[in-house]
Amino acid sequence: MDKQKKPQRTEDSNAPVIHGAEDLPAVQVTSYNLELRDKEGFIGDRANKSAFRDAIDAWRKRVREGGSDPLGEVPTDDLSKKEIDALLKEPETEAAALVLAAIDDFAKGLAGILARYLKEEAWKGTKRIVVGGGFKDSATGLTAIARTQILLKAEGVKVELVPIAHHPDEAGLLGAVHLIPSWMLKGHDAILAVDIGGTNIRAGVVKLNLDDKPDFSKAKIWKSELWRHADDEPRRTATIEYLVRMIEALVAKAEKARLALAPVIGIGCPGIIAADGSIARGGQNLPGGNWESTHFNLPEALRKAIPRITDEPTFVIMHNDAVVQGLSEVPRMADVKGWAVVTIGTGLGNASFVNKQT
């Protein structure tokens, strides 16, 4: 087993930069990226984006045994979220009934997973679970969340499920502001944030609006860029080069707008994030190449490519993407002590938190 690298140190300070930290300014991260298994494999695989479409496919095959497929000839994978949502608008139709049956199967799977997570020591005391990820951004997803809540209540599981407040694309950027103490950002208007996923990479400028609210509850996305890398299938090196160009373009826009940009890049990335910024495991869905290699470190690569921002040394801080998306909810979770997040997308992300102040 390879020895873990030491945490990086800032250029102008002897203080170490701890990536993937448990101790964050507003919360303690009690767990993330749980990889629980049973005899059928990883339980999280039963409640991701593919699992829902698999449920639709399974119902279509069963229905064809007794007659025509109400969804016609179009393959399930070719149906967009909007097209599936549209089917629910006519509840009297067989097509809507089929989608609702698939939602019910998916909700049963998700309820079972959450019930299992809640038995973990790190999740004990969890009173609220935020549901994020791209699946939430649809009527179908919201129906599945509500159905999951009903199933948990029916089993006597006392936990509240709530859809994430922000659009999932924005939540993955907004959460980055909670990776560093607010005092470090005083005198600045915004930071850079990056959300790396198995399908897309998004980079953006997050306005802090600290004068309005010091808890970042008024933070907003000022500008953002989206790259659907799954369409291009780039190698890892090309991916980093493209990301650097995205960030540099955002820096140029901020400077042109005379926005006081902090020299900070906050990153959300899949997998277990080691203290030095390397990815210990869980990066298998990232584009082209071995992101878990001992010879590769994303924060170091970005600092090398962009050594200074607004004439100050670049500070890069990275954590798991589900953690970062969950952190966007910190201001809204002030009334509970223990809470958690699950993100339904290419995979099922998860993280649990304990607030430092309630």
Residues 95 and 186 occupy one common structural domain: no
Query: Which domain covers residue 248, as residue numbers?
Result: 167-328
User: In this structure, what CATH number is given to the domain that contains residue 194?
Assistant: 3.30.420.40
- Residue 3 confidence (pLDDT): 41
Contacts 24+ apart (CB under 8 A), 1-9: 2/294, 4/274, 4/275, 4/276, 4/278, 5/274, 5/276, 5/278, 5/294, 5/297, 6/275, 6/276, 7/275, 7/276, 7/277, 8/276, 8/277, 8/299, 8/300, 8/303
- Residue 8 confidence (pLDDT): 53
- Residue 293 confidence (pLDDT): 82
Q: Smallest Cα–Cα separation from 324: which of 215, 120, 155, 180?
A: 180
- Residue 233 confidence (pLDDT): 84
Number of alpha carbons in the 13 Å side-chain half-sphere of residue 177: 34
Phi-psi region of 269 (alpha: psi -120 to 50; beta: other; left: phi over 0): beta
- Residue 45 confidence (pLDDT): 86
Residues 143 and 199 occupy one common structural domain: no
Residues 140 and 273 occupy one common structural domain: no
Distance CA 329, CA 345 (A): 18
- Residue 28 confidence (pLDDT): 97
Residues 146 and 173 occupy one common structural domain: no
Residue 166 vs residues 39, 60, 101, 243: alpha-carbon distances, Å: 36, 33, 28, 23
Distance CA 22, CA 353 (A): 9
Q: Does residue 203 fall inside a structural domain?
A: yes
Q: Does residue 23 fall inside a structural domain?
A: no
What tokens were used for 219? 């933070």
Q: Does residue 61 fall inside a structural domain?
A: yes
Count of domains forming the chain: 2
Residues 103 and 181 occupy one common structural domain: no
Residues 217 and 287 occupy one common structural domain: yes
- Residue 211 confidence (pLDDT): 84
Q: Does residue 227 fall inside a structural domain?
A: yes
Q: Does residue 96 fall inside a structural domain?
A: yes
Residues 211 and 323 occupy one common structural domain: yes
Residues 113 and 177 occupy one common structural domain: no
- Residue 183 confidence (pLDDT): 82
Q: Does residue 32 fall inside a structural domain?
A: no
Distance CA 193, CA 262 (A): 11
Indicate the residue type of 141. Answer: G
Q: Are 259 and 208 in contact (CB under 8 A)?
A: no
Q: Does residue 194 fall inside a structural domain?
A: yes
- Phi, psi angle pair for 201, to nearest 5°: -125, 130
Average pLDDT of the chain, as a whole number: 91
Q: Does residue 87 fall inside a structural domain?
A: yes
Going residue by residue through the chain (358 aa), what tens digit of pLDDT does each one get?
344 444 554 444 445 679 999 999 999 999 999 989 888 888 888 888 899 999 999 999 999 999 999 999 999 999 999 999 999 999 999 999 999 999 999 999 999 999 999 999 999 999 999 999 888 889 999 999 999 999 999 999 999 999 999 998 899 999 999 999 888 898 999 999 999 988 889 999 999 998 888 889 999 999 999 998 888 888 999 999 999 999 999 999 999 999 999 999 999 999 999 999 999 988 887 888 789 888 899 999 999 999 999 999 999 999 999 999 999 999 999 999 999 999 998 789 999 999 997 5
Residues 153 and 196 occupy one common structural domain: no
CB atoms within 10 A of CB 176: 29
What tokens were used for 340? 């958690």
Q: Are 32 and 321 in contact (CB under 8 A)?
A: no
Instruction: Name the 3-class secondary structure at 340.
Output: strand
Residues 109 and 179 occupy one common structural domain: no
Residues 142 and 246 occupy one common structural domain: no
Residues 104 and 217 occupy one common structural domain: no
- Residue 219 confidence (pLDDT): 95
CB atoms within 10 A of CB 51: 19
